[in-house]
Amino acid sequence: MKLLLTAFEPFGGETVNAAWEAVNLLPDRLGALEIIKRTVPTEFDRSIACVTAAVEAVCPDAVLCVGQAGGRAALTPERIAVNLRDARIPDNGGFQPQDEPVVPGGPAAYFSTLPVKAMAQAIQAAGLPGEVSNTAGLYVCNNLMYGLLHFLAGTRRNIPGGFLHVPLTDAQAAAREKPTPGLPLKDIARGLTAAISAIFP
């Protein structure tokens, strides 16, 4: 069994991204499961192209994309992605779409095909904050989740896919001017491991 696990590069002036730092801590295997990791550009169009190309190359049994959500205190599997780009800040390529669809003419939304409730429960069972989120925002994270699910729906290969947001690391949170939630990096990685265990029970 193979899991394609992706995470974004730093963005918005940050020098690290909690998602990639945590993904990078995970081993390449968890029992019989092979974990194939890819870093993804924090850019609207390139992120989708990067991940869909990786799906074609790797032929995974599931895809989990991970992103950083400053301000969140829990690891949050995302339930839904909407067909909308509305960026508060430019992406790393300088693109800042406003009120644009991810896929012109595409469905209004896609639901995750991963077991999001079981993932949140597994994170909680590991002693960490976890909950299902009903909004992936309107930035590159939602964009990638929608683009991935649109692509997977078109392949008809029945590969489940979805997205999970993680909080800032405690080091990142401590550097913010305003009080911001954060978790130790090892705990974020442990939460991801728990979530993965729910995808491949």
Which are the catalytic amino acids?
Answer: 78, 141, 165
Q: Alpha carbon of 16 to those of 102, 119, 131, 175: distances in Å?
A: 26, 25, 24, 12
Cα–Cα dist 188/129, whole Å: 10
Q: Find tokens 């909407």 and name the residue.
A: 82
Do 106 and 83 form a contact (C-beta atoms < 8 A)?
yes
- Let me know if 109 is exposed, middle or buried by CB neighbors in 10 A (0-12, 13-18, 19+): middle
Q: Which two tokens stand for residue 59?
A: 């032929």
Angle at 187 between CA 185 and CA 188, to 5 degrees: 65
Q: Which two tokens stand for residue 18?
A: 């909690």
Cα–Cα dist 128/30, whole Å: 19
